[in-house]
């Protein structure tokens, strides 16, 4: 069976701007975590958990329960928002 003639492949040219962006991206990925990341992340998650626990423990009291009595059940939303913000910071952790 006859073989097809091999073709020479053209050298692919790389856009210099694209190569520079790729190099910057690689350098950015090698950077370590900022020093504030882990403490803030853990603090947000713990404060959110404590907020929810305090609300549940005090919600049977007259007045809506602490930490912020006028908010009532919205205290749960605040606690969960703090926890979600903490988990959102985990996406930046390397």
The predicted pLDDT at position 69 comes to 78
Return the number of other C-beta atoms located less than 10 Å from residue 29's C-beta: 8
Helix segments in the chain, DSSP class H: 16-29, 37-58, 74-90
The SS3 assignment for 15 reads coil
The predicted pLDDT at position 86 comes to 97
Rounded-to-integer distance, Cα 66 and Cα 51, Å: 9
The predicted pLDDT at position 11 comes to 63
User: Residue with structure tokens 């908010």?
Assistant: 71
Q: What are phi and psi of 37, to 5 degrees?
A: -60, -55
The predicted pLDDT at position 28 comes to 66
- The helix-helix angle for 74-90 and 37-58 (nearest 10°) equals 160
Name residues whose C-beta falls within 8 Å of residue 42's C-beta, 6 or more positions apart in sequence.
86
Q: Identify each DSSP E strand in 20-82 by its residue range.
A: none
Q: Which residues of the chain have pLDDT under 70?
A: 1, 7-12, 14, 28-29, 61-65
Q: Does the pTM exceed 0.85?
A: no
The predicted pLDDT at position 35 comes to 92
């Amino acid at each position: 069976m006859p073989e097809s003639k091999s073709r020479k492949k053209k050298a692919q040219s790389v856009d210099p701007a694209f190569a520079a962006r790729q190099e910057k991206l690689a350098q950015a990925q090698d950077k370590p975590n900022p020093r504030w990341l882990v403490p803030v992340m853990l603090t947000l998650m713990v404060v959110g958990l404590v907020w929810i626990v305090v609300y549940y423990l005090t919600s049977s009291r007259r007045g809506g329960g602490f930490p912020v009595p006028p908010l009532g059940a919205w205290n749960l939303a605040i606690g969960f928002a703090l926890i979600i913000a903490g988990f959102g910071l985990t996406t930046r952790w390397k």
